[in-house]
Structures are given as structure tokens and as C-alpha cells.
Structure 1
Amino acid sequence: MVGVRRRFKLADTAQQIVGGFLLAGPFVVTEEVWTLAASMSLLQTLSTVFIVVGIGYGALYKADDRDPDAESEVGGIPVRFVSLVLVAYGSVLALALAFNAPNTFVGGGGERARLLGVDVPIRTVRVTVKAVSVGAVFSVVGAATADSLF
């Protein structure tokens, strides 16, 4: 499919979502992930972001025969890749919140801040961001695989 401009469609995002949720689920509900996340530094959290981006790009454009220059872009970045990264993080966050994982594994004590009009415990938000970054490493594999296979 090299050189052929393939439009990115809603069905492509749907495939990514299925794959992202499939592999994210087991990591969201595992206490070990939340314990690990609580002990991670900012540098370690940022390294997981780079890992997600690297895996996503590699799976979409290096392991497959897609040409990123032949795809629709937003801000110079292929829309398919933007969607993949958003799905990877979004699916983990959605499952974490749906299962009430942050309150279950972190609790709600400590300092609070207003986030989107809601009072939230700062520590819970920090650990949740870190746990989502860990889960996204696996979610991006599922999302990219589903996108590439179907």
C-alpha cells in the first residue's frame, strides 16, 4: 500500500479502540501497576510516553508498509498516529475511571485541588497519570495491531 493515499476513517479508530481496550483492561485492575505507578518519578513517567510514541509509530509505519507522508495530517502529524496515541491513553483512563481504580488503589486522602470543577486528591491524580502511562504501553500495542490487521 506504499504510495497509495488511504483515507483515515471512523472505522479505523473503532479498530484501534477495540485493540486498545483489549490490552488495557488487565493492567488497569492490577494492584501491582498502581503500586509501581506510585513509586515512579517524573522522568520514568515521561520515558513511558516516549515508549508509547515509539511503539505506536513503529507499529504503524515501520512494521507495516504504510507511508506516513501519504496520510492525512493534523499539524504535520498523521491523523492515524494521533488517533492511535489518543486511543492508547484514553482507553486506559476510561477503564480506570469506569472501574474506580484510582480510589480503590490510591484512596482519596491528602491535599485536594479543583480539576474541571471537581475537588480531587492531588496524589490520586498524580498516581493515576502514572498508572495510565504504564497501561498505555500495552494499550498502544493492541490498538496498533488491530489497526494494522483489519
Structure 2
Amino acid sequence: MKVPRPRRPRKFRVADSAQQIVGGFLLAGPFVVTEEVWLLAENMSLLQAIATIGVVCGIGYATLYKADTNRDPSDEQRIGRVPVRFLSLMLVAFGSVTILALLFDAPDTFLGSVDSNREIALITFKAISVGSVFSVVGAATADSVFSR
């Protein structure tokens, strides 16, 4: 009788992060430089921004583990109880939007009439939450399509 070997968690590779980064930056770019996103962010409440972050996490998890039936989160490397692939996806989704917003000087461009640095930071946070909705779609799709 053959005893089955225990399954090892699938290795998360640098190439996996690179795929996420390409997809995340690709879809984040157009939304970082869109005035409507910054106007929307200016009029959002903090609660709406936090809910948007929840949506980003939900989209990311669903794309990685529900839409791709070949991937099981319990088979992957973890930090604590969270799969490394998912943590990387969240870092890419929010990080790519943040980097592009600061690189393109979007807060100063779109929030020039706002005087308070605290208010600029809050609106930027909300704009990042909005842009991350699109970034996570690109990052998770690239990860799923190219990880075969």
C-alpha cells in the first residue's frame, strides 16, 4: 500500500510578484491621472474609503482563489494565516497606485486648492482606495493568467 506524500505549499516566486506588478501598474495608471477619481475621492467619506478597501480585498481573494479553480489558498505559503500570494497582491494593488500618484505628483496637481496637508493626505488615501479597485483586477488577472 502506497502512503501519499504530504502536499507541500506551492512556492511563491519572484516571477509571481513580477506578474502582479505588471498587471497592477498597467491598470492603475489611467486612474491615478484622472481628475474624476480625485474629485470622487474628495467627496467620499472615510467609511466609504474603508469599504472600498474591503472591496479590493474581496476582488483580489475571489480572483485568486474562487475564479481560478486550480488554486487552493490552503496549499500556499503563508505568513500567519494569510497566503503570501494574497499579501503580495494587496501590496501591489495599493502600492502601485500610491507610487504612481506620488511619482506623477497627482495630489498637488488635483488638490492644489486644498490648504491643509492633513486634508490632502486624507483625500490621497481615498483616491488610492479607488484606484486600487482597478489595480487589483490587473494584478490578480496577470497572476492567474501567467502563473500556469
Fold in common (TM above 0.5) = yes
| Alpha-carbon distance in 1 for matches of 2:99, 2:115 | 24
> CA deviation digits over 1:14-69, x for unaligned, max 9?
00000000000000000000000000001110110110000000000000021100
Match for residue 63 of structure 2 among 59, 63, 76? 59
Say whether the 8 Å CA contact 1:108–1:124 is kept in structure 2: no
Q: Which residue of 2 aligns with 1:96?
A: 101
Question: How far off is 1:4 after superposition?
Answer: 6.7
| Alpha-carbon distance in 2 for matches of 1:9, 1:90 | 19
Output the TM-score relative to the length of structure 1.
0.89
Larger Rg: 2
Percentage identity across paired residues of the two chains: 63
Q: Which residue of 2 aligns with 1:50?
A: 54
| Alpha-carbon distance in 2 for matches of 1:132, 1:141 | 14
Q: Which residue of 2 aligns with 1:105?
A: 110
> 1:11 is aligned with what amino acid?
A
| Alpha-carbon distance in 2 for matches of 1:8, 1:107 | 42
> 1:28 is aligned with what amino acid?
V
Output the TM-score relative to the length of structure 2.
0.90
Residue 130 (structure 2) pairs with residue 148 (structure 1): no
